A and B are shown apart, each in its own frame.
Chain A
Amino acid sequence: MNDWPLWEVFTQPPGGAPHEHAGSLHAPDAEIALQNARDVYTRRGEAVSIWVVPSASITASSPEDAGPFFDPGNDKPYRHPQFYKVPRGMK
């Protein structure tokens, strides 16, 4: 069991939404990971597409990064449409 690497599974629901993380599983290789992902995470028809990625291949931000990476930027209103005025009646 410890020989089989961990994979992260991403599934895309019908309707064009992006792939979403569904969970993980252990598999010896990519083909089996894909098949197992289908069996484990899409039994109830939740997906039209599956990605499997070795967990070791994922680079993630760390909690310490949260400040500089994700500061809400309330001081950057120019990124939001409400900042901009257009004449009444114009959409």
Chain B
Amino acid sequence: MEAEFEARIVRGETIEPKDWMPERYRKQLIRMMSQHAHSEVVGMLPEGNWITRAPSLRRKISLLAKVQDEAGHGLYIYCGTETLGIRRGDVIDQLLAGTAKYSSIFNYPTLSWADMGAIGWLVDGAAIVNQTMLAKASYGPYARAMIRICKEENFHKRQGYEIMATLAAGTPAQKAMAQDALDRWWWPSLMMFGPSDKDSPNSAELLRWRVKQKGNDELRQRFINLTVPQAHAIGLTIPDAALRQDEATQDWISGPIDWEEFHQVITGNGPCNKERLAARNQAHAEGGWVRQAAAAHAEKQAARSAA
């Protein structure tokens, strides 16, 4: 059965929920998909932080719509994860207990309005590079969720870049705000792609099973090449003194990434890890009575109809 499964993957076939799959494939997908869903939901918090302070009605509405989309993305992927035989409640319990991972980037604080621009432009920009690839993942429910997400994601990046461009062309204070945000979000965005492939334990397997199609380094380089000219176009400086363009390949070669910082952040010691988990735990705990009430009402209604 293993051999047939591997052959299906090689043929480019889509694996669906009821198909036979190696237990390890199932586990890897549950891990990857639930981490992805957690990231979307936790990702609502740093941006949600600025909805009440958005400085114009158009920006307020756009930001709220973006964060709402992220809730939707989390929902699509949680539902996709459930096709692998695990319940959403159980997966969420893992997040709340601190045993599940989510994207490191959301453990950074949002400290100014310009962070909304930086996040849309850089973080969603990085996510798009990743997600376009995942839309061709071998597991059907994941690929389908990703196709839906990719359609919605494009406005997120454009919104972010538009905010940055407006600030960079604005008052000196606004321009400084934008540069400061870029200074703080650039390196964490590069780290979003994960460690170098040679240091990434899961990469090889995920590539073989066509859950991923490209390695971390290749995706990171693609992101850098796309983004550096965008920064230059609006008059902002990438905070990397060592950044230079390779003559032959035209690649923008980044300076060294501080992987120690990444390690700290993904092991729970980043600037906001505790606060993010506390917020999710609080929402979940405070919402318990609501979820129970709705279930109780449904039961009562069923009993009444049966009577």
- List chain A positions with a Cβ less than 8 A from chain B: 1-4, 6, 23-26, 28-29, 32, 40, 43-44, 60, 62-63
Contact = CB atoms under 8 A, between A and B. Distances in A.
Which 10 residue pairs spanning A and B have beta carbons closest together? A28-B294, A1-B89, A2-B89, A3-B295, A24-B79, A29-B298, A28-B298, A63-B19, A28-B295, A63-B18
15 contacts: A1-B88, A1-B92, A3-B292, A4-B294, A4-B295, A6-B79, A23-B76, A23-B144, A23-B148, A25-B75, A28-B298, A40-B72, A44-B152, A60-B18, A63-B18
B297 interface: yes
Nearest to B292: A3
Given A2-B87, A63-B20, A23 B79 contact: yes
Nearest to B293: A28
Given A28-B297, A32-B294, A63-B16, 18 more contacts: A2-B88, A3-B295, A4-B291, A4-B295, A6-B79, A23-B80, A23-B145, A24-B79, A24-B82, A28-B295, A28-B298, A29-B294, A29-B301, A40-B72, A40-B75, A43-B68, A44-B152, A62-B18
Interface string B18-62: 111000000000000000000000000000000000000000000
B90 interface: yes
Interface in B61-79: 68, 72, 75-76, 79
A44 B153 CA distance: 13
Contacts of B145: 23
A6 B75 CA distance: 12
A37 to B, nearest CB: 11
Contacts of B144: 23
B79 A25 contact: yes
Contacts of A60: 18
Contacts of A29: 294, 297-298, 301
Contacts of B82: 6, 24
B281 to A, nearest CB: 14
B51 to A, nearest CB: 17
B9 to A, nearest CB: 15
A44 B152 CA distance: 9
B18 to A, nearest CB: 6
A3 B296 CA distance: 9
A1 B291 CA distance: 7
A71 to B, nearest CB: 17
Nearest to A65: B18
Interface in B1-29: 16, 18-20
Contacts of B148: 23
A32 B298 CA distance: 10
Contacts of B90: 2
Nearest to A60: B18
- Greatest chain A CB density within 10 A among B20, B68, B294 is at B294
Contacts of A6: 79, 82
A20 to B, nearest CB: 11
A70 B155 CA distance: 40
Nearest to A1: B89
Contacts of B79: 6, 23-25
Nearest to A30: B298
Interface string B271-294: 000000000000000000001101
Contacts of A24: 79, 82
B14 to A, nearest CB: 12
A62 B16 CA distance: 10
Contacts of B301: 29
